[in-house]
Amino acid sequence: MNKYVYALLVVATTSLMGSAFAIGKIGLAYASPILLVALRFTIAGIVMGIAVFFLKKPHPKTLYDWGQIFIIGFFQTAGVMGCIFVSLKTITAGESSILTFMNPLLVIIFGTIFLRLSYRRLQWFGVVLGFIGVFITFGAHVSIKIGTLLGFLSAVSWAIGTLLIKTWGAKFNVWVLTAYQMFFGGIILFFGSFILEEPFFVLNSSSLFILLWLAIMASVVQFAIWFYLLSIGDPGKTSAFLFLSPFFGVLSGWVLLQEPIYWYVALGGVFIFAGIFFANWTPKQTYKRST
């Protein structure tokens, strides 16, 4: 692929991923947070589900397999996105995106503890840099808001979902897994909305545009581009570009919401971005099982 086309696709997918934080925060003026993200991923899951059905992609055959996809959806979609959207009520879109994209650093720690995976020194160096960045971001606050904790929990849930996909995902078609884990996550979030909040959705042209942007552009289109890039390039090197997503999260919060970029958020973000970069930018063999 032409390197300029590749760069354009990288920018497209990471900017869609990062800007969803600011657009989601705008959407909170029209909907309760859990209901908004429930609608987003239910719609996205249905659209992708219809696509994989008509494209005759292989579907799971057993209830056990469907149960594994449901569990992945619980962590990868419901846990991650529920925490993100609720966190946006008390912290900025930029702060939420920085905390959420700690995920690659936590994957290394959890992978070592629970899956007995061993990683290179450069990756552990990235973990150290990342947590220095989190310490800076946390420590500069007079008090840690509930949104700060939720932003961190979104990264924890994402890391768990990533490791579940590493463990179970090989037997599923990637498009089928993506479609149904989003759909199941959206359904879980619907139940969560009616239990944990007073759900509301103000129906008008602005709220519909935000919802469709989040569901189609920031979910279906973003995933399609990302999986395409993973399929044509080295997954380890491609995943390193995830460090661009929190950058676009901070940038979109500044542009769309006029959120100030405080010095401690910027400094902490630099360390976290560098940590994610070193944690991901490795040769093809990124990890191996210990004997």
92-102: per-residue pLDDT in tens? 888 888 888 88
Place of tokens 């960045």: 133
Under DSSP, is residue 244 helix (H, G, I), strand (E, B) or coil?
A: helix
Paired with 117 in beta bridges are 289
7-60 pLDDT per residue, tens: 899 899 989 998 999 999 999 999 999 999 999 999 999 999 999 999 999 999
Contact 124, 286 (CB under 8 A): no
Which amino acid would we find at residue 135?
F
Q: What are the tens digits of pLDDT across the range 230-266?
A: 777 665 566 667 777 888 888 899 999 998 877 777 8
- Tokens standing for residue 65: 């397999």
Contact 110, 125 (CB under 8 A): no
Amino acid letter at 116?
Answer: R
CB atoms within 10 A of CB 166: 14
Please state, as a whole number, how many other Cβ atoms lie within 10 Å of the Cβ of residue 192: 18
Q: How far apart are CA 288 and CA 291, in angstroms?
A: 9
Q: What is the per-residue pLDDT for 259?
A: 87
**C-alpha–C-alpha distance, residues 39 and 134, integer Å:** 31
Pair of tokens at residue 57? 């992609």
Task: Say if strands 288-289 and 117-118 run parallel, antiparallel, or are unpaired.
Answer: antiparallel
**Torsion sign (Cα): 265, 133, 101, 159:** negative
Residue 286: pLDDT band with limits 50, 70, 90:
very low
Count other Cβ atoms within 10 Å, centred on residue 189. Answer: 28
- Over its C-alpha atoms, the chain yields an Rg (Å, rounded) of 18
Q: Where are the domains of the chain?
A: 3-289
- Alpha helices (H) in the chain, listed in sequence order: 3-27, 33-54, 63-73, 80-87, 93-100, 103-114, 121-139, 146-168, 174-196, 205-212, 222-232, 235-239, 244-257, 263-280
pLDDT at 187 over 60: yes
Instruction: Give helix 146-168 / helix 103-114 axis angle, nearest 10°.
Output: 50
Block residue for tokens 């959206």: 186
Of the two residues 2 and 16, the one the predictor is more confident about is 16
Sign of CA dihedral 281, 251, 11, 174: positive
> Model-level pTM?
0.86
Q: What SS3 class is residue 172?
A: coil
**What sign does the dihedral 89-92-96-99 (CA atoms) show?**
negative
Question: pLDDT value at position 62?
Answer: 96
| Lowest mean pLDDT across 91-95, 114-118, 217-221, 283-287 | 283-287
